[in-house]
Structure 1
Amino acid sequence: MISTLRGTVLSALGTIVVIEVGGVGFSVNVTPAEALGARIGSELRLNTTLIVREDALTLFGFATPDELGVFELLIGVTGVGPKSALGVLSALSPDDIARAVAADDDAVFRKVSGIGPKTAKLITLSLAGKLVPTSPAAVPRIAAGVPAVDSVLAALVGLGWSERVAAQTLDEVVAETDESARASVPALLRLTLGRLGPSQHGRAS
C-alpha cells in the first residue's frame, strides 16, 4: 500500500498530478483544486490510497489525512466509486460533508455531478455517526450570494487554509472582481490563490 508520496511535481493537468519520487513518476488522481495549486518543479506531499481493480492500479491523493479518510468512507457507500468520491471532495470540504451528514442533508450531495438522489441519501445514511464537524460553516459576508463561492471555499480549505482565512480572502477578492470572474470557479479560485500565495501544505512539505 502506498500511503504517502512526497516528491517533485512533473505535471499537473485536470485531475492528474505526476510526482517524481526517486526517479519514478507516479500519476495521482487529485481534485481540480489540488492540481491547480500544484506547481511544476516544486515539492508536493500527498496522502494517498491505491485502488486495485482487475484492469488497473489507480492512485488517489489528498492534501490532508481528513480528506483521505472521508474519501475512504465514501467509497464504502454502495453506488459511490473512487471517481464519484473524488467528485464529492472536489466540491465539498470534509467539514462540509460532516455537517451535511449530521443534518441528514442529502441535497448537498445531489448537487455533485454523478451523484443521484438515491446515492445521495445512502451517503447520509451510511456515514451517519462516522463524521464530526470540526468547525461551523464560514460564510463570506459579501460573497454569500455568489454561486461559485461555495466550491472555491471548499477548494481552498482542501488546499490547507483555514475556513476563516479562506473566507475572508475570498470575500475581499469578490468585492474587487467583475461579475464574469465571480461566476467562474476556476477564475475566482485563481484570483484568490494569487492573493493567498503558495498553498499551506506546499509550505509545510
Structure 2
Amino acid sequence: MYAYIDGKLTFKCPTYIVIEAGGVGYQINISLNTYSALANTERCKVYTWLHVKEDAHTLYGFADEGERRLFLHLISVSGIGPTTCRMMLSSITPVEIQNAIINADVALIQRIKGIGAKSAQRIILELQDKLKKEGPDSLISMPLHNTVRNEALSALIMLGFGKQVAEKAIDNAIKNGGEDLTVEQMIKVALKNL
C-alpha cells in the first residue's frame, strides 16, 4: 500500500521511528540494521510494508529497497512472521542472511533468537533456489539510477526469469533494436528471444 514515506524524522529509538510527512506522524517499526543506517539524519526516506491484521495495521520500515525485498522473501516462508523477520534483520545484516540462505548455513540462521533448526531448514529450503536464481546480491544491491536497461531487467526477473538469462535477452534486444528502445519495447523484444 505504501511504497515509502519521506519526511522529517521526529523520533528514533532502536525498535521504531516516527516520520512526519504531510502533517501526519507515522510510527514505523524498524530493525537495528535500519536504525544504524539512519544514524544522524533529520530527514529520511524509509521504504515500508504494511502488515494488516484484524486488530492492527502495522508499518515496517527499511533503510533501503533491498532490505525490504529480503524481508518480503522471509515472510513468505510458512511460520515466519514480520516480528521474526525484524528479529533476523536486527541480529545479522541482510547480506549475511542472504549468504547464509544461499550457502545453506543452518548454524548461522539458527543462532538468531526465535529460529530453531526446523525453521532455519525451512527458510533455506524455500528461499535458496529463489535467491540463487536471482543471482548473488540481487536483493541487496539496487541501482542508484534506473536506466531503461535496469528497469527492463528488473521486470524480467519479477516475471520469473533468471538474472543471467534475462541479461542476455536484454543485451540481444539492445543489439538488435538499438539503445533508443523504451522499457516496454525492450521487454517485448527480450521476451521474443526467451
* TM-score range relative to shorter protein: 0.5 to 0.7
- CA separation of 1:104/1:7 partners in 2, compared to 1, >3 Å: closer, same or farther? same
Aligned to 2:127: 127
TM-score (normalizing by structure 2):
0.65
- The question of whether the paired residues in 2 share the 8 Å contact of 1:11 and 1:40 is answered with no
Counterparts in 2 of 1:38-49, with a 5 A limit? 38=38, 42-49=42-49
- CA separation of 1:133/1:41 partners in 2, compared to 1, >3 Å: closer, same or farther? closer
- CA separation of 1:60/1:120 partners in 2, compared to 1, >3 Å: closer, same or farther? same
- The question of whether the paired residues in 2 share the 8 Å contact of 1:12 and 1:40 is answered with no
Name the SS of the counterpart of 1:124 in structure 2: helix
CA shift for structure 1 position 69: 0.5
CA shift for structure 1 position 122: 0.6
Question: Distance between the aligned counterparts of 1:55 and 1:80, measured in 2?
Answer: 19
Structure 2: gaps (5+ residues): 142-194
CA shift for structure 1 position 121: 0.8
Matched residues, percent identical?
Answer: 36
Counterpart residue type for residue 114 of structure 1: G
Name the SS of the counterpart of 1:129 in structure 2: helix
Aligned to 1:64: 64
Q: CA RMSD in A?
A: 2.2
Name the SS of the counterpart of 2:98 in structure 1: helix
CA shift for structure 1 position 15: 0.8
CA shift for structure 1 position 37: 4.7
Counterpart residue type for residue 134 of structure 1: D
- CA separation of 1:122/1:97 partners in 2, compared to 1, >3 Å: closer, same or farther? same
- The question of whether the paired residues in 1 share the 8 Å contact of 2:4 and 2:47 is answered with yes
Aligned to 2:86: 86
Q: Of the two structures, which has the highest relative contact order with CA contacts closer than 8 Å and spacing of 6 or more?
A: 1
Question: Distance between the aligned counterparts of 1:9 and 1:51, measured in 2?
Answer: 21
- The question of whether the paired residues in 1 share the 8 Å contact of 2:33 and 2:93 is answered with no
CA shift for structure 1 position 82: 0.1
Structure 1 segments, 4+ long, off by >6 Å, are none
Counterparts in 2 of 1:1-205, with a 5 A limit? 1-38=1-38, 42-131=42-131, 132-134=135-137
TM-score (normalizing by structure 1):
0.61
- Number of aligned residue pairs: 137
In our comparison, the structure showing a higher alpha carbon Rg is 2
Deviations 1:147-178 (A, max 9, x none): xxxxxxxxxx99xxxxxxxxxxxxxxxxxxxx
Question: Distance between the aligned counterparts of 1:4 and 1:24, measured in 2?
Answer: 14
Name the SS of the counterpart of 2:108 in structure 1: helix
Name the SS of the counterpart of 1:59 in structure 2: strand
Q: Between 93-102 and 61-70, report the one with greater CA deviation.
A: 93-102
CA shift for structure 1 position 87: 1.2
CA shift for structure 1 position 36: 4.5
